Amino acid sequence: MGNINFVQKSNLFSYTATRCLRNEYYHNDCRICIDVCPKGAFHIVRNKLTLFENECVGCAGCIGSCPTEALEIESFDPNGYAASYQHHEEAPTLTCKVSTPCLGVFDVEHYTVMALRGDKSVTCDLSHCAGCVLNENGKLEESIRAKVEGANQFLETIQNPHRIETIEVKEEQADRRALFRKGFEKVKESLAEESVAHVSMTTAHHKLPDMKMPLKRILLKNSLKEIVGGMETTAFAISSPLFFNKQINFETCTNCGDCTQFCPTDALFPTSDKQGIYFSQGKCIGCGICEDICKPNAITSKEGFDLVSVAYERSEQLVHYEMVTCHECRCPYPYKGGDPICDRCTSFMAKHANMFTLARDM
């Protein structure tokens, strides 16, 4: 292994460091791919995620877990597969033995998109997961089942008739390692032609200028646009594994702008006059950077999501201030009432009051 590259490849598998949350924000501690990788191919080097190419087997089990799509495999694109799922004459069963790589290649968004766009429920064959050679520590199966459960939770919440159904009956397996190698080679061969269109879809998306939104989120929002018009209720007061909500405390926020600067998808962005902050729920991927970077802890998560706002990327103004000039330092600051003195000067005078004491008063 040499220096940390922007794009690292291991056979068909690639990791793009510039899309990784750990590179977006130095203090981010995302380690989803590290925890789910069955071979321990990901490592933290100088607080940056690094792929050890010689340890990666290209199983694709980690791909669906990455919130920013920094992980890809050339032989299969989950975005292209999910987008074209409805066009199959007969919806195929999702199985690592025939139609796909490891089902860890899909995220909650992919499963949800396939259920929303298809005319019946989606079937996943999970009968091989527990005994799979890649599932030695149980983390990969746990991750796959959590995504299926998250998709079903959302589909049930919005009262969609379709679900992600699972096949649990286990078949007798002779040599698990031989089956894995055979199955993986079969997938590469069967998808050699049609994967070109799939791969070009995600690759083209990532090449667009200033495109920060993961394609799987865009596919989900486009799928929601097709159904929200016929829904009786689009606003829900509960939490969701797909959508995240934020609130900002007016009294503690200093309008420093760090949260808008470091938000990887521009879910938080400043108002035109730079005196307030907007939030777009449809763009938020729940990375937690905004909450971590906020020094006064003014940003917190809250429950609730609205499908119309998500689908059409509507934004709400979370906070807005009137900027006034501090009477002490003459710098503009967000005014919150009382004497026109900024928090910095107020704090300074409180901590160093003895400096302003006259000799006659001592």
Most confident of 45-59, 202-216, 344-358: 45-59
Mind listing the pLDDT tens digit for each residue in 108-134? Answer: 999 999 999 988 999 999 998 999 999
333 DSSP β-pair partners: 324
Distance of CA 297 to the CA centre of its chain: 22
pLDDT at 254: 86
> What pLDDT was estimated at residue 181?
53
User: Whose structure tokens read 């879910």?
Assistant: 267
Contacts of 112 (CB under 8 A, 6+ apart): 151, 154, 155, 220, 223, 242
Averaged pLDDT score across all residues of the chain: 85
Percentage of the chain lying above the pLDDT 90 cut = 56
Instruction: Name the pLDDT band for 318 (thresholds 50, 70, 90).
Output: very high
For the stretch 232-277, pLDDT in tens is: 999 999 988 899 999 999 989 988 899 999 999 999 999 998 889 9
Pinpoint the residues of the chain covered by CATH 3.30.70.20. Answer: 235-320
- In this model, does residue 146 exceed pLDDT 80? yes
| Amino acid 173: pLDDT | 47
Assess if CATH 3.30.70.20 describes domain 235-320. Answer: yes
Secondary structure (3-state) at 225: helix
**pLDDT higher than 90, residue 289:** yes
What integer pLDDT is reported at residue 354 of this predicted model? 66
Task: Look at the pTM and tell me if it is higher than 0.85.
Answer: no
Q: What is the DSSP letter of 357?
A: -
pLDDT band at 324 (very low <50, low <70, confident <90, very high): confident
What is the pLDDT at residue 310? 96
How high is the pLDDT of residue 1? 38
Using one digit for the tens of pLDDT, what is the confidence trace for 64-107? 999 999 999 888 899 999 998 888 777 789 999 888 999 999 99
- The pLDDT-based confidence of 287 (bands split at 50, 70, 90) is very high
Burial of 230 (0-12, 13-18, 19+ CB in 10 A): exposed
Cα dihedral angle (192, 196, 197, 199), rounded to 10 degrees? 110
C-alpha to C-alpha distance for 316 and 268, rounded to whole angstroms: 10
Quote the pLDDT of residue 174.
Answer: 41
Residue whose structure tokens are 């503009």:
332
- pLDDT tops 80 at residue 335: no
